[in-house]
Amino acid sequence: MSHQKRILCIGAGYVGGPTMAVMAMKCPEYRFDVVDINPDRIARWNSDQLPIFEPGLDEVVRGARGRNLFFSTDIADGIRAADIIFVSVNTPTKTFGEGAGMASDLQYWERTAHEIVEHAEGDKIIVEKSTLPVRTAEAMERILKANTRGRRFEVVSNPEFLSEGTAVRDLLEGDRVLIGAHESDSGRAAAESVADIYRHWMAEDRIIMTSVWSSELSKLVANAFLAQRISSINAVSALCEKTDADVGEIARAVGSDSRIGSRFLNASVGFGGSCFKKDILNLVYIARSYHLHEVADYWEMVVRLNEFQMHRFVQRMVREMFNTVAGKRIALFGFAFKADTGDTRESPAITVARLLLDERAKLIVSDPQALENARMDLADAGEGVTYTPDPYTAAEGADAVAVLTEWRQYRDLDFERIFRSMRQPAFLFDGRNILDHHALRKIGFQVYPLGSRALNSF
When CB distances are held under 5 to 8 angstroms depending on the partner's kind, the choice from ligand UGA, ligand NAD, none that residue 57 binds is: none
CA dist 25 and 45 (Å) reads 16
Number of residues that bind ligand UGA (CB under 6 A): 20
CA dist 5 and 3 (Å) reads 6
Q: Is 309 in the site for ligand NAD (CB under 6 A)?
A: no
The DSSP annotation for 256-273 comes to TSTTT-STT----S---S
Checking DSSP bridges between strand 153-157 and strand 124-128, what pairing results, if any?
parallel
State which residue, 69 or 418, has the beta carbon closest to ligand NAD: 69
Q: Is 275 in the site for ligand NAD (CB under 6 A)?
A: yes
| Residues 229-248 within binding reach of ligand UGA (CB under 6 A) | 230
What lies within 8 Å, CB to CB, of 256 at 6+ separation is: 262
Q: Is 352 in the site for ligand UGA (CB under 6 A)?
A: no
State which residue, 16 or 342, has the beta carbon closest to ligand NAD: 16
Helices and strands, number each (H, E), in the chain? 17, 14
CA dist 105 and 94 (Å) reads 4
Q: Is 264 in the site for ligand UGA (CB under 6 A)?
A: yes
Site string for ligand NAD, 134-173 (x = CB under 6 A): --------------------------x-x-x---------
CA dist 154 and 91 (Å) reads 21
Task: Give the DSSP letter of residue 93.
Answer: B
Question: Is 275 a known active-site residue?
Answer: yes
Q: Is 338 in the site for ligand UGA (CB under 6 A)?
A: yes
Q: Is 268 in the site for ligand UGA (CB under 6 A)?
A: yes
- Cβ neighbours around 384 below 10 Å, total: 14
CA 397 to chain centre: 34
- Cβ neighbours around 260 below 10 Å, total: 12
Stretch that binds ligand UGA, among 92-100, 157-165, 326-334, 385-393 (CB under 6 A): 157-165
Q: Is 446 in the site for ligand UGA (CB under 6 A)?
A: no
Q: Is 53 in the site for ligand UGA (CB under 6 A)?
A: no
Q: Three-state SS for 356?
A: helix
The DSSP annotation for 158-197 comes to ------TTSHHHHHHH-S-EEEE--SSHHHHHHHHHHHHH
Closest CA to 254 of 451, 428, 53, 18: 451
CA dist 415 and 225 (Å) reads 37
State which residue, 159 or 334, has the beta carbon closest to ligand NAD: 159
Stretch that binds ligand NAD, among 7-15, 59-67, 286-294, 297-305 (CB under 6 A): 7-15
Q: Is 226 in the site for ligand UGA (CB under 6 A)?
A: yes
Q: Is 272 in the site for ligand UGA (CB under 6 A)?
A: yes
CA dist 353 and 365 (Å) reads 9
Stretch that binds ligand UGA, among 72-80, 223-231, 381-389, 443-451 (CB under 6 A): 223-231
CA dist 373 and 342 (Å) reads 7
Give the nearest distance from C-beta 7 to ligand UGA in angstroms. 20
Q: Is 218 in the site for ligand NAD (CB under 6 A)?
A: no
Residues that bind ligand UGA (CB under 6 A): 131, 160-164, 223, 226, 230, 264-266, 268, 271-273, 275-276, 337-338
The site for ligand NAD (CB under 6 A) is made up of 10-16, 35-38, 41, 75, 88-91, 108, 111-112, 130-131, 160, 162, 164, 274-275
Catalytic residue ranges: 275
